[in-house]
Amino acid sequence: MRIKDLEGKEWEYGECLSCAINSKKVQPYGGIIFESKNFTVTQDFSRPINGFVVISAKRHVVTYDGLTSEERAELAELVFKTQKALKRLGVCEYFNIYVAEYKEGHFHLQILPRYKWMEDERGTIIGNLNRGFNYAKENLNTKENLKQIKTTLQNLKKEMNKL
């Protein structure tokens, strides 16, 4: 399978993107931000949204209830640590934190900053996230935005690797 990164470079990743990232066959924009015993933290591979971070299990596991108790505890702390760092860096005030499971999937949790452009007329977040993701792909793939994402990733790396 193939996928384009934020700079438009195409990567061949085999069966599973998360496995390819974790085994370093494929490099997400900005590299791996943080690594714990059982998880990696990276920028979302293909959607140019500043601070859109993905926490992925290192082993190929599909669902949340497939995680061990050690992994679940580690994940909870990692979500906390990542959000804290993103907030300290002033990336966003609020986030949507979610897991989407599917049969061919690899367990990952997404931390999506909740930006103004994602909201609909009523001020609530757009119901269909794909609309937002498509908007990002069509409108945010600019040099300026990529530069901002890279800066965030560099700062996040520093922030999360303190101690």
Query: Using CB under 5 A as the criterion, which residues of the chain lie in contact with Zn ion when the complex forms?
Result: 16, 18-19, 60, 106
Closer of 17 and 149 to Zn ion (Cβ): 17
Closer of 60 and 150 to Zn ion (Cβ): 60
H helix count then E strand count, the chain: 4, 7
Q: How many Å apart are CA 106 and CA 126, to the nearest integer?
A: 25
Minimum distance between the CB of residue 67 and Zn ion, rounded to whole angstroms? 14
Minimum distance between the CB of residue 41 and Zn ion, rounded to whole angstroms? 16
Is the Cα dihedral 90, 118, 95, 69 positive or negative?
A: negative
Question: Percent helix, strand and coil across the chain, each rounded to 5?
Answer: 35, 20, 45
Closer of 105 and 129 to Zn ion (Cβ): 105
Minimum distance between the CB of residue 14 and Zn ion, rounded to whole angstroms? 9
